Structure 1
Amino acid sequence: MTDADRLRRLLGGADTTWLVKRVRQRLERGGALTGTVTLAGATPSQRRAVELLLGRRAGTGASLSVSLAEVDRVLRTSGVSPGGLAAAVEALDGPVRDVAREQADLAAAWASAFARLDEALGSRPELAEWRDRLDSSGLVRRLTIGPGEAAELLRRLAAVVRGLPAAGVPLGRFSAETCGNAHALDDGQPLATLAVSCARAIAGLPFRADGGAESRRDTWAAVGVHLDELSSTVLCLGLPGDSGTATGRMLAAMRGEPVSLTLRQLRRHPAPMRAGLVRICENPVVLTAAADALGLSCPPLVCCNGRPSAAVWRLLELLAEGSAEFAYHGDFDWGGVAIAAAVRSRIGWRPWRYDAAAYLEAASDTPLAGRPAPTPWDPSLATVMAERGVRVEEEQVLPHLIAELHAGTAH
């Protein structure tokens, strides 16, 4: 049984606090009480305390070294602490934490918290990098107070992941359907921060926890979720319209001029739109140039204006329902390739001067930056873009695009 009074006199004073602290730290890390511990710049009183503990002189150097095995032996044989040094430290300063076990338990708790999300991501290899960034950035841990709270947050995030991309739904409805709460994805909510970062990954955008209001609006739109029906718009030119609907009559009346349609108009359009071959471009400058050059004779043309908004998707879907075929052109850079791939996977298209041959014909000395991406409509395009290393914007090939619009061809 430990002799508490003698133990406090030998090891419990201010002059041996450093030794007790070093021993506790070693025990908490799971280390053995072997070797020595050294105190640089020991005071005379600290040196005398060690001499009293060990029953011998402790040397005369500037530092003070103590053998842990010797202290353990002294405590056991003297009867001060039959359980040795480890028992003495606990008697003086309370139980020793098992830090290794605590860390293992915490890691297991976090793994359990992420289990539902990881299950949802099992069939989403395109989100593997985003999942890794959640860990490396510590975003979830910053947004929650521990794995218990995180588990519920990540359970709802898993439902959001399963619902993306969506098919042109309002944010409130999407939130209610996936999270059981129409306001769970409102700005400022921890779940919204995580959901926006996921949406950015699905849209092929760089990892970021959040951004400004416009960035969040564009990110949601890129995965088929809109914040309201009026701010989401699409530019078009040359759509024939019809005489039986409000939107159709407006398109017919504005034939030859670029028209901006809101998501509200398109969601209320009652029937498929029939337009034959529809060309899709990435930038509004193509519509402007086509209207100036061709006017009323311009064939149907729809502008993505960067990453497609909910209104863009809705218009393309209405045209697809009307049996339209699509031909696509965009910027020859990796961002443009990602946009093109997203449109192709959703509605399908054939290239409109958007292949390796057209890229090699275009003059440019602007360096190509970013991460290469595949071009499944023409695999050689990605290869020659990487080899040539320049970007070609639509503005640089406008004459060719206008000439083909005039001729009514696409290849």
Structure 2
Amino acid sequence: MTGDMTADIDRLRRLLGNSEIAWLRARVRRRLERGRPLTGSITLAHATAEQRRAVELLLGRRVGTGASISVRLAEVDRILRDSGACPDGLAAAVELLDGPVRDRVRERAENAAAWRAAFAPLDAAVRGRAELDGWRAWLDSTGLVRRLTAGPEEAAGVLCRLAAVVERLPSSGIPLGRLAAETCGDAHALDEGSALATLALSAARALAGLPHTGEGTAEARRAAWAAVGVHLDELSSVVLSLGLPGDDHTPLGRLLGTARTAGEPLVLTLRQLHRHRGPLPAPGLVRLCENPVVIAAAADDLGPACPPLVCVSGRPSTAVWRLLELLEAGGAEFAYHGDFDWGGIAIAAAVRERVGWRPWRYDAPSYLAALATVSGGPLTGRPRPAPWDPELTAAMAERGVRVDEELVLSGLLADLRG
């Protein structure tokens, strides 16, 4: 500015600093913040008499008699410069009267750059993993990370740890606390309730082929982690079996032997399976079912004569995976049966990818034969591929009928007797 600073400020306040013309300063400030030029006109609808007099004092002329006032910004800028009230013009005048103008364009660019930097470790962790593409896009579309964190600075730390967790999934079987300690340096980092735990659980669900959000129950959380080989503790992860052979020289072998002799189902914990050293010798074929009702019916019907049978109990827990690995290492082969619905197909495909099996009354001919004798419910959900028999997916999609495992128990029991 030029001339006497005090006199300039006083003149500026008389022309542009009163409350009746604050609306004009506010409009100019918004334009400056958005990086827009101070050209054209601005209009105030329904102006009061005081607001009209303030504008007339600024412009030195009448502004009409209508309800609204229009002011050309170039004219205001010229008046401020020529009068000496603010030789640097309108933009400088607004800053002198109301403080510095924020550069919102620059702030937005810096904020976007900060968020890109925050997500960079996670983007590197998911790059090339097609199974996580949808999940990564979902994080952006829902704004979940932005809602769970206070800003890009906090998010950067969360996403860096999340990337380390994602790189370790799926796991071959690890406690959640150990996973947290090894990836985040804190055994409680993945405890329920934190932003990191919420995001990591959604990643686990995505890897397991589940919806990215699910039921908030402890059981749903446990199942989602188990689907990617992570267990919350060694005692809550269990597997149900019947008729598995045992031995006399290991604790697990003696348990299995006692249960087989008694013809009773046996619930094994992940702790017991983890402490077993070496494979579990299994004679030939081990049949797998999806639902505990098959185990119960087989125990009632065959007792000690039941051949080896393992229940995956829906989506397999870490204990199920561990038992199947021990049996496979011992030379077992597997035959699988499950529900004829899309969830059952997905579970069967996951088991087949992990250990391999041949169908046990679980193909298109078996499905069509079941429809001839039982009445199933409506088949809902999205069709899933059945790699062991593509015709099964086609038949189920065409018929649209769900057949639960319980409805074909008689055929399964007949095979077990044979």
Q: Compute the TM-score of the two structures, normalised by the length of structure 2.
A: 0.91
Alignment of 1:106-185 (within 5 A): 106-185=111-190
Partner of residue 345 from structure 1, selected from 319, 329, 353: 353
Q: Quick one: structure 1 residues 50 and 338, their matched pair in 2 at CA, closer, same or farther if it must change by over 3 Å?
A: same
Q: SS in structure 2 opposite 1:114?
A: helix
Using the aligned pairs only, state the percent identity: 70
Structure 2 contact 222–231 (Cα < 8 Å) conserved: yes
Partner of residue 84 from structure 1, selected from 89, 95, 100: 89
Question: What is aligned with 2:266?
Answer: 259
Instruction: State the Cα deviation string for residues 30-53 of structure 1 (Å, max 9, x = none).
Output: 223233322222110001111111
> Structure 1 stretch 347-356 or stretch 73-82: which is displaced more?
73-82
Runs of 4 or more consecutive aligned structure 1 residues displaced over 6 Å after TM superposition: none
Asked if 1:305 corresponds to 2:313, the answer is yes
Offset at 1:62? 2.2
Asked if 1:372 corresponds to 2:383, the answer is yes
Partner of residue 211 from structure 1, selected from 205, 213, 216: 216
Offset at 1:243? 2.4
Structure 2 contact 214–220 (Cα < 8 Å) conserved: no
**Which whole-Å CA distance do the structure 1 matches of 2:205 and 2:130 have between them?**
15
Structure 1 contact 121–127 (Cα < 8 Å) conserved: yes
Instruction: State the Cα deviation string for residues 82-101 of structure 1 (Å, max 9, x = none).
Output: 33322222222222222122
Offset at 1:351? 1.8
Question: What is aligned with 2:31?
Answer: 26
Q: SS in structure 2 opposite 1:327?
A: strand
Structure 2 contact 41–71 (Cα < 8 Å) conserved: yes
Give the residue type in structure 1 aligned to 2:397: A
Structure 1 contact 36–66 (Cα < 8 Å) conserved: yes
Give the residue type in structure 2 aligned to 1:176: A
Offset at 1:291? 2.0
Structure 1 contact 241–249 (Cα < 8 Å) conserved: yes
Q: SS in structure 2 opposite 1:362?
A: helix
Q: CA RMSD in A?
A: 2.0
Alignment of 1:200-349 (within 5 A): 200-208=205-213, 211-255=216-260, 256-275=263-282, 276-349=284-357
Instruction: State the Cα deviation string for residues 205-232 of structure 1 (Å, max 9, x = none).
Output: 2122882333222222222112222221
Offset at 1:155? 1.3
**Which whole-Å CA distance do the structure 1 matches of 2:390 and 2:37 have between them?**
60
* Structure 1 unaligned regions, length at least 5: none
* Structure 2 unaligned regions, length at least 5: 3-7
**Which whole-Å CA distance do the structure 1 matches of 2:30 and 2:376 have between them?**
61
Give the residue type in structure 1 aligned to 2:129: R
**Which whole-Å CA distance do the structure 1 matches of 2:42 and 2:341 have between them?**
61
Give the residue type in structure 2 aligned to 1:152: G
**Which whole-Å CA distance do the structure 2 matches of 1:125 and 1:329 have between them?**
29
**Which whole-Å CA distance do the structure 2 matches of 1:104 and 1:373 have between them?**
43
Structure 1 contact 196–210 (Cα < 8 Å) conserved: no
**Which whole-Å CA distance do the structure 2 matches of 1:314 and 1:104 have between them?**
50
**Which whole-Å CA distance do the structure 2 matches of 1:79 and 1:54 have between them?**
14
Q: Quick one: structure 1 residues 362 and 72, their matched pair in 2 at CA, closer, same or farther if it must change by over 3 Å?
A: farther
**Which whole-Å CA distance do the structure 2 matches of 1:228 and 1:59 have between them?**
79
Size of the aligned set, in residue pairs, is 407
Q: SS in structure 1 opposite 2:92?
A: helix
**Which whole-Å CA distance do the structure 1 matches of 2:312 and 2:335 have between them?**
13
Q: Quick one: structure 1 residues 124 and 88, their matched pair in 2 at CA, closer, same or farther if it must change by over 3 Å?
A: same
**Which whole-Å CA distance do the structure 1 matches of 2:41 and 2:103 have between them?**
22
Q: Quick one: structure 1 residues 372 and 108, their matched pair in 2 at CA, closer, same or farther if it must change by over 3 Å?
A: farther
Q: SS in structure 1 opposite 2:43?
A: strand
